[in-house]
Amino acid sequence: MGLNNNDIFKKLRVAHKLRDDDIVKICGLKDFKITKSELNAIFRNENHEKYMECGDQFLRNFLDGLIIHLRGPMPPKGANTTPKK
**pLDDT score for 12:** 95
Left if phi > 0, otherwise alpha if psi is -120 to 50, otherwise beta: which for 42?
alpha
Give me the phi and psi of 79, to 5 degrees please: -75, 140
Question: CA 58 → CA 12, 47, 77, 79, distances in Å?
Answer: 13, 21, 26, 30
Q: What is the pTM of this model?
A: 0.79
- Whether the pLDDT of residue 26 is over 90: the answer is yes
